[in-house]
Amino acid sequence: MRRIAFGLAMAALLAVPAAGQPADSTHGAFSILEENDLFFNTDRHYTNGTALAYTTPALDADDWAVSAADVLPVFQDHGRNYEVRATYELGQDMFTPDNTTLANPDPKDRPYAGFLFAAVGVLSKTDNRMDQLQLQLGVVGPASLAEDAQKFVHTILGDALPKGWSHQLRDEPGLELTYDRTYRTPKVHLPADLALDFAPHMGVAIGNVYDYVNAGAMARFGFNLPDDYGPMRLDPSLPGANFFEPKHDFSVYAFAGVDGRVVGRNLFLQGNSFQSGPRVDANLLVGDFLIGAAIETRWFRIAFTHDFRSKEFKTQTSTDQFGAVSLSFAL
């Protein structure tokens, strides 16, 4: 738990200067996201994910993102009644086997791997639909600095150092294109300013890191339910959004969702594309079930998500779970 407290404290310190004006379509948002399995006292498989993200305010017609949305087929059926934003993200993913005390990792367990990436994207939104297209460019392997990051944190906290990083995946460029479409049903209004809504989604990812198609849905229930699509998350997962547009001074809501994926490729399991090395056989079908809660004001949103993930590879002995904390501020 010390590791979690340290990460949250650092995130809060970084986020405080970002607080800005009340959020609406004329404002952007800056978010810090931390995903970690240590919320549930484990340290294995997808063990950590960190991201910094910025989403612009709604853009004018002469902006590059609007021009891109006008010509890309996935956005064209909106007509002109939609707003467009650009998204920018910097992140790192970290993967380890179950037993990190082994200098020679179990060949039946997932390999050590890291992914350091930058991303740029286009987001369009109407009253009941959001489309997100994102291009990620990064590096897998020692150049991802995942080994350095994990050992640095373990050293600061006095924890045992993982011993098998010398067997991690080799350096390889990562190129990934993802697309998600999310619909939001009209709110069902209940007494005492309570409401609920439902948001089905579908998506696809293509690249040398992941190949998959996915679909699922999320339900939200709460007080003064805001007009957004839930907190941001790292792929692969349910789509969320960095920006938020509250209609009230204070909102609180709970959410639950599912996502199912048909996976054609997962580099972090199946190994480097053009080099021999550690690898395991990936499962074709993978699912996530998540629950969480969010608090939102006109200036910020904080959310916690508990994610349950099914087995991702054939020799995996148990399912995984991890937690995610996101802090978003209006700019």
Are the CB atoms for 117 and 91 separated by under 8 Å?
Answer: yes
CA-based nearest residue to 278, from 35, 112, 37: 112
Quick check: 202 pLDDT over 50? yes
Q: Which of 196, 161, 203, 160 is nearest to 181 (CA)?
A: 203
Out of 5-14, 55-64, 147-156, 176-185, least confident range: 5-14
Domain that holds residue 198: 2-330
The number of beta carbons lying within 10 Å of the beta carbon of residue 304 is: 15
User: Looking at residue 5, what is its pLDDT?
Assistant: 39
Q: Tell me, what's the pLDDT at 23?
A: 59
Mean pLDDT of the chain: 90
Percentage of the chain beyond pLDDT 90 is 77
CB-based contact 24:45 (threshold 8 Å): no
- First-to-last CA distance in the chain? 31
Taking each helix axis as running N to C, give the angle between helix 2-15 and helix 146-157, from 0 to 180 degrees, rounded to the nearest 10.
110
- The total of structural domains in the chain comes to 1
Are 327 and 300 spatial neighbours (Cβ–Cβ below 8 Å)? Answer: yes
Q: What is the pLDDT of residues 244-257, one digit of tens each?
A: 888 899 999 999 99
Report pLDDT digits (tens) over 30-40: 999 999 998 88
**What does the DSSP 8-state code read for residue 66?**
H
Q: State the Cα–Cα distance between residues 132 and 213, nearest whole angstrom.
A: 15
Helix H or strand E encompassing 92 = strand 83-96
Residue 203's CB is within 10 A of a number of other CB atoms, namely: 22
- CATH number for the domain spanning 41: value is 2.40.128.140
The pLDDT, as a whole number, for residue 19 is 39
User: Quick one: pLDDT at residue 77?
Assistant: 62
3-state secondary structure (DSSP) of residue 79: coil
- Is the per-residue pLDDT at 102 higher than 80? yes
pLDDT digits (tens, 9 = 90+) for 132-151: 999 999 999 999 999 999 99
Cα–Cα dist 96/89, whole Å = 23
Q: Which of 2-11, 35-44, 116-125 has the lowest mean pLDDT?
A: 2-11
Closest residue by Cα to residue 131 from 121, 141, 139, 140 = 121
Task: Answer whether residue 167 shows pLDDT above 50.
Answer: yes
